[in-house]
Amino acid sequence: MKHPLCILSLLALASALSSVASAADDGDSALNDAVRAAVAEAGPSVMRIETFGGLEKVGDVLIGSGPSTGIAVGEDGYVLCSAYSFAQQPTSILVTMPSGKRAAAKVIARDHSRMLVLLKVNSEEKLQPAEPVARTEMTIGQTAIALGRTFDSDTPNVSVGILSATNRIWGKAIQTDAKISPSNYGGPLIDLHGKVLGILVPMSPQGEGALAGAQWYDSGIGFAVPLAEVLPHLDTMKRGEDLHPGKLGVSLSGKDNLSQPVQVAAVLPGSPASKAGIEKDDVIVEVAGQKIRWLAQLKHALGPRYAGEELAITVKRGDENIETSVTLAGDVPAYDTPFLGVLPMRGGNGKGVAVRYVYPKSPAEEAGLKAGDLIVRCQEQDVDSADQLRNMVGTHDRKTGPLAIELERDGKAVRVAVEPGSLPEQIPDPLPAAHSLDESPQPGAAIGLVPIKVPEIANDAFAFVPASYRPDLPHSLIVWLDAPGEFDKERIEPTWGGLSEKHNSIVLVPRASNVDAWQPTESEFVRKAMDEVIDKYNIDDDRVVVGGYQAGGTFAAIVATAHPDAVRGIALVDAAPPARASLPTSDPVQRLSVFVSASDKSKHKAQVKQAVEALRTNKIPVSVLSPTPEPAPLDGQQREHLSRWVDSLDRI
Amino acid sequence: MITLPRTGWLSLAFVLLACVATERMAAAQALREVIDDTQPKLVKIYGAGGLRGLEAYQSGLLISDTGHVLTVWSYVLDTDFVTVTLDDGRKFEAQLVGHDPRLEIAVLKIDARDLPAFELTEAVDLQIADRVLAFSNLYGVATGNEPTSVLKGVVAAKSNLMARRGVFKTTYGGPVYVLDAMTNNPGAPGGALTDGRGRLAGLLGKELRNSQNNTWLNYAIPAAELIASIDNIIAGRTLPPPPDEAMPPAEPLNLNLLGIVLVPDVLDRTPPFVDHVEAGSPAEEAGVRPDDLVLFLGEHVVQSCRILREQLGMLDRAEQITITVQRGQELIEFTLAADP
């Protein structure tokens, strides 16, 4: 403080504050007036939107058909809204103009990154475009007012709160404690001057899709996409071009957000990263001037970027820093995970990986590998574990030629070169034993039907642990989700007991709290129940599968998509894939395989067929059982197939 | 140029901040006094319920110093033994004075005197964004002489509760204050909505879902809507039963009479597209064409074939109707009558 002006400004500040404070004696009337003035300022840009027709339900979420809100962004009839209101694919859209007249509107383009929709209204009447605030001018703690136009009223509906955070959802959103719900999704979050901080949307850091995050309505956590960051892309959208999240096209070695360094496990062929010369094993150290130390920072740097944007990236290769520039892409060709064609023996330790089974017609069989071989080296590196070998094969760059494999067979060294293939969809024939361990030690943990309790959650869950369980042998985990209301504790053992024994698996059956439907929030409960089992028993993280019949199967897919770090397989039995949820795509580190059984008479036949095709395009192997005559839960033989499929997921 | 030692600057700043802090504390003090004055006017009501998620309690507010209690009419009062607990912990058995089935309110009477009470004649009208306080026994957490809970919020909207038939499941269709405060919880119904000075503004309503967008609705019925009905109940005047809007007329209108054939109704929410129009029918004469999408019947939104049929069934065939259709990107209005 070096200048007398400081005194003046301090005095001015003090008097301003005290005038607010004294007026506040009768209930913050000065703030009320300020809020009303701001609402009046922004109000004309807040548009009421009505949608007609379309689906009653999207996935498990009941969509109301009531009015929603949008923001005028161009005087010539352009209105920006949340994709939430358009998830049900309405047949007709009406916008109420400032004069009170309704006019028809149509969807011009979508922003698939921030889940927005741009409408064009068919009317000559001029709109008042909203005025945006730059993110750099926002202060955490400033008053933030959420507006919607969903009630029958001349004035927008108002919720008052503060700005809680300025950099959320991987940089895409700001956060407020004002009450955000379908009553104001699509409306603006404004400041006390009536300028727009952001457009209100449901969002979740985990999920994607138009409905993700809607379960958090009115909870003290609400999100808005800064309008100032969408407007520069408005011209693209006006041309009818959709905006897509910008992708780099690498698979990373770390699984969780705090893993470091951020090392490239594989570069997807034809991806922006590949074109920019990024290679396997490079460590990403800087993106667009931001230092990257852990995975979350990379997500923050890439999150707000659209496809087509150019970024400077620095990678560390050995001791050298290499600067390059990438143009992000919306669509990256899926990664075709290289596959050798063997199943490893389990429970061994020490040198090499013993081959349990060789897939017929696989690259391994063609190269002459046999069950009983011991793989000791791969690409001139010693092999110590199946995980290590799987990772080396899965991230192998095909451009560099075949894999050099060194075996021990009958005490002799054998060298073979294997040109890897793709992950198989066929379910192997009955398999040889997966281990050659000595007589079983004590299980060391509860066996039979074991209740699994998750702290602070009321739902029941039971795990069936076979009597043959031994802690030195990694087991599969099959999480089976019954359709809500179909849970029957007494049926678990008769249904799964024999198969658990035979295939060394533990079956976890969680129970939906509601008999009508699985709630999206119960995904967390299922995950926690899985973690409890993984904590207590020796579970092979390559053989964790979530599956279910009908609504249980649909929910299984939701659980799997929400937890790609933990789930390696999804089993859908006569189940519709989740509507409009983005389908997973292949990743050599977080692998995923899908098992499908559906009847020719299934209601969901068309959706299932479509999902299977889309998953295959995404290079996810889908094993489809021959269709049953009538929709039904799996019979004994089909469960045997399922168990064998799970048993084979540690394939290399 | 004035120069002050560094500590001088700091103390000046401190004094200024202290002034501000004092003002703030005064405001907090005022709020405290308002709450202290208001809470004794609230009561806790216990009655029937306790089964299948139905809570056996709700809130109420004193509207006379001789023990008249205003609350919502609900299953809680559906018993011979309704207990009212005052703010000071005194318990009374309450008598039902009467209720208004349209507003879903009831007045109870307890045998007590010199009670603090809201003055209905001093009730205030609120504007959008006005700061409000909501007093109630939310979740039944207050027992005995524990004061009721206070929530602070603003008026989010003023709207008619049943803007359209069948949208909200309630018999009351008048204006409400939609609140930016979480009042839609067990125990809150029957609580008081006041302005920042503790003056009564409304009665917290029963738990409702806004079925337009499937979210819980936080709302209060404005005091002005209640006063006449309360006077009637206390005076013992009988109230007319609510008009039964669901009664269809003897000779209802239907699509055949208008000459409109819709597309087959195959989905839960099949959009009401016109499949064809009968030659020489009122619809053809008015200019309705195949592929027109019916959006409004009068002022009512028509979301599906089923809703259009239901709404027509509520109209008499002698009535002249207006329908708004979408043809391509145009909205067109037609006036039709079955018997021209």
pLDDT above 90 (res A182): no
How confident is the model over A591-635, as pLDDT tens digits?
999 999 988 888 888 889 989 999 999 999 999 998 888 888 888
Quote the minimal CA–CA distance from A624 to chain B in Å.
Answer: 29
- Contact list, A180 vs chain B (CB under 8 Å): none
For B160, nearest residue in chain A (alpha carbons): A152
- Contact list, B180 vs chain A (CB under 8 Å): 158-160, 178-179
What is residue A3's predicted lDDT score, i.e. its pLDDT? 46
- Identify which of A482, A547, A473 has the alpha carbon closest to the alpha carbon of residue A505: A473
For A146, nearest residue in chain B (alpha carbons): B156
The more confidently predicted of residues A66 and A286 is A286
Inter-chain contact B326–A31, Cβ cutoff 8 Å?
no
Which one of 2.30.42.10, 3.40.50.300, 2.40.10.230, 2.60.40.1180 gives the CATH number of domain B255-337? 2.30.42.10
Please, which pLDDT band fits residue A19 given cuts at 50, 70 and 90?
A: very low
Mean pLDDT of A536-553: 93
* B163 in contact with chain A, both atoms CB, cutoff 8 A: yes
How confident is the model over B11-46, as pLDDT tens digits?
555 555 555 566 666 777 788 999 999 999 999 999
- Identify which of A647, A618, A646 has the alpha carbon closest to the alpha carbon of residue A422: A618
Q: What phi, psi does A34 have (nearest 5°)?
A: -65, -40
pLDDT above 60 (res A571): yes
Inter-chain contact B213–A66, Cβ cutoff 8 Å?
yes
Cα four-point dihedral sign A284, A290, A291, A293: negative
For B30, nearest residue in chain A (alpha carbons): A25
User: What span, in angstroms and rounded, lies between the C-alpha atoms of A650 and A648?
Assistant: 6
- Contact list, A10 vs chain B (CB under 8 Å): 12-13, 16
Quote the minimal CA–CA distance from B59 to chain A in Å.
Answer: 23
Tokens 């809130």 identify what position? B59
B85-123 burial, b at 16+ Cβ within 10 Å, e below that, comes to bbbeeeebebebbbbbebbbbbbbbbeeeebebbebeeb
How confident is the model over A114-154, as pLDDT tens digits?
999 999 999 999 999 999 999 999 999 999 999 999 887 78
Which of A1, A28, A159 is facing B180, going by the closest CB pair? A159
Residues 193-222 of B with CB under 8 A from A: 195-197, 210-216
Q: Is domain A250-327 in CATH 2.30.42.10, yes or no?
A: yes
Residue A399 burial (10 A CB sphere; 0-12, 13-18, 19+) = exposed
The more confidently predicted of residues B249 and B2 is B249
Which of A92, A102, A182 is facing B215, going by the closest CB pair? A182
pLDDT above 70 (res A650): yes
Tell me the count of A-B CB pairs closer than 8 A: 166
For B216, nearest residue in chain A (alpha carbons): A218
Q: What ipTM was assigned to the predicted interfaces of this complex?
A: 0.78
pLDDT above 60 (res B230): yes
Inter-chain contact A4–B1, Cβ cutoff 8 Å?
yes
What residue segments make up the domains of chain A, in order of their start?
A: 28-243, 250-327, 338-422, 448-647
Instruction: Report in angstroms the alpha-carbon separations of A621 from A335, A364, A568, A613, B265.
Output: 12, 18, 11, 10, 39
Which of B27, B130, B196 is facing A21, going by the closest CB pair? B27
Quote the minimal CA–CA distance from A424 to chain B in Å.
Answer: 39
Mean pLDDT of A408-426: 93
pLDDT above 80 (res A20): no
Token digits of residue A560: 């799997």
Tokens 């009374």 identify what position? B92
What is residue A276's predicted lDDT score, i.e. its pLDDT? 93
Inter-chain contact A29–B16, Cβ cutoff 8 Å?
no
What is residue B53's predicted lDDT score, i.e. its pLDDT? 55
A644, A645, A646, A652 alpha-carbon torsion, rounded to 10°:
110
* B141 in contact with chain A, both atoms CB, cutoff 8 A: no
How confident is the model over B236-245, as pLDDT tens digits?
887 666 555 5
- Contact list, A155 vs chain B (CB under 8 Å): 128, 157-158
- Contact list, B20 vs chain A (CB under 8 Å): 14, 17-18, 21
pLDDT above 80 (res B179): yes
* B21 in contact with chain A, both atoms CB, cutoff 8 A: no
Please, which pLDDT band fits residue A63 given cuts at 50, 70 and 90?
A: low
* B30 in contact with chain A, both atoms CB, cutoff 8 A: yes
pTM greater than the 0.80 cutoff: no
- Under DSSP, is residue B154 helix (H, G, I), strand (E, B) or coil? strand
Which of A22, A52, A53 is facing B23, going by the closest CB pair? A22
How confident is the model over A259-300, as pLDDT tens digits?
889 999 888 888 999 999 999 889 999 999 999 999 889 989
In a mutagenesis test of the B interface, which of A9, A13, A51, A65 is the best target, namely the one with the most B β-carbons within 10 Å?
A65
User: What span, in angstroms and rounded, lies between the C-alpha atoms of A563 and A558?
Assistant: 9
Average pLDDT for chain B: 84
pLDDT above 60 (res A22): no
Cis peptide before A261 (omega within 30 of 0): yes
Least confident of A72-86, A507-521, B101-115: A507-521
Domain covering A28-243 in this structure, CATH number: 2.40.10.120
What sections of A504-635 are H helices per DSSP?
A: 522-536, 551-562, 605-617
What is residue B311's predicted lDDT score, i.e. its pLDDT? 86
* B318 in contact with chain A, both atoms CB, cutoff 8 A: no
Inter-chain contact B26–A92, Cβ cutoff 8 Å?
no
Please, which pLDDT band fits residue B334 given cuts at 50, 70 and 90?
A: very high
**Residue A30 amino acid letter:** A
pLDDT above 50 (res A70): yes
In a mutagenesis test of the B interface, which of A51, A157, A514 is the best target, namely the one with the most B β-carbons within 10 Å?
A157
Q: Is domain A448-647 in CATH 3.40.50.1820, yes or no?
A: yes
Which of A35, A64, A178 is facing B211, going by the closest CB pair? A64
Mean pLDDT of B74-101: 92
The more confidently predicted of residues A574 and B209 is A574
Inter-chain contact B210–A53, Cβ cutoff 8 Å?
no
What is residue A329's predicted lDDT score, i.e. its pLDDT? 93
- Contact list, A217 vs chain B (CB under 8 Å): 215
Mean pLDDT of A462-471: 92
* B232 in contact with chain A, both atoms CB, cutoff 8 A: no
The more confidently predicted of residues B169 and A112 is A112
For B307, nearest residue in chain A (alpha carbons): A53
- Contact list, A29 vs chain B (CB under 8 Å): 131, 196
Domain covering B40-235 in this structure, CATH number: 2.40.10.120
Please, which pLDDT band fits residue A58 given cuts at 50, 70 and 90?
A: low
What is residue B166's predicted lDDT score, i.e. its pLDDT? 38
Instruction: Report in angstroms the alpha-carbon separations of B60 from B89, B128, B192, B194, B220.
Output: 14, 25, 8, 14, 13
| DSSP string for B248-292 | --SSB--HHHHTEEEPP--STT---BEEEE-TTSHHHHHT--TT-
Q: Answer yes or no: same fold for B40-235 and B255-337.
A: no
Average pLDDT for chain A: 87
Which of B16, B23, B196 is facing A27, going by the closest CB pair? B196
Least confident of A340-354, B164-178, B299-313: B164-178
What is residue A521's predicted lDDT score, i.e. its pLDDT? 74
* B301 in contact with chain A, both atoms CB, cutoff 8 A: yes
pLDDT above 90 (res B135): yes
Percent of chain A beyond pLDDT 70?
90
What residue segments make up the domains of chain B, in order of their start?
A: 40-235, 255-337
Least confident of A224-233, A258-267, A580-589, B201-210: A580-589
The more confidently predicted of residues B144 and A216 is B144
Inter-chain contact A183–B24, Cβ cutoff 8 Å?
no
* B24 in contact with chain A, both atoms CB, cutoff 8 A: yes
pLDDT above 60 (res A7): no
Inter-chain contact A10–B295, Cβ cutoff 8 Å?
no
Inter-chain contact A1–B9, Cβ cutoff 8 Å?
yes
User: What span, in angstroms and rounded, lies between the C-alpha atoms of A323 and A320?
Assistant: 10
Q: Decide: A413 and A407 in contact? Cβ < 8 Å.
A: yes
Inter-chain contact A36–B331, Cβ cutoff 8 Å?
no
- Contact list, A97 vs chain B (CB under 8 Å): none
Quote the minimal CA–CA distance from A111 to chain B in Å.
Answer: 23
- Contact list, B23 vs chain A (CB under 8 Å): 17-18, 21-22
Which homologous superfamily is A338-422 in? PDZ domain (2.30.42.10)
Percent of chain B beyond pLDDT 90?
49
How confident is the model over B254-296, as pLDDT tens digits?
999 999 999 888 776 788 899 999 999 999 999 999 999 998 8
Residue B266 burial (10 A CB sphere; 0-12, 13-18, 19+) = exposed
pLDDT above 60 (res B75): yes
Inter-chain contact A159–B129, Cβ cutoff 8 Å?
no
pLDDT above 60 (res B332): yes
pLDDT above 50 (res A500): yes
- Contact list, B331 vs chain A (CB under 8 Å): 94, 102-104
Quote the minimal CA–CA distance from A150 to chain B in Å.
Answer: 9
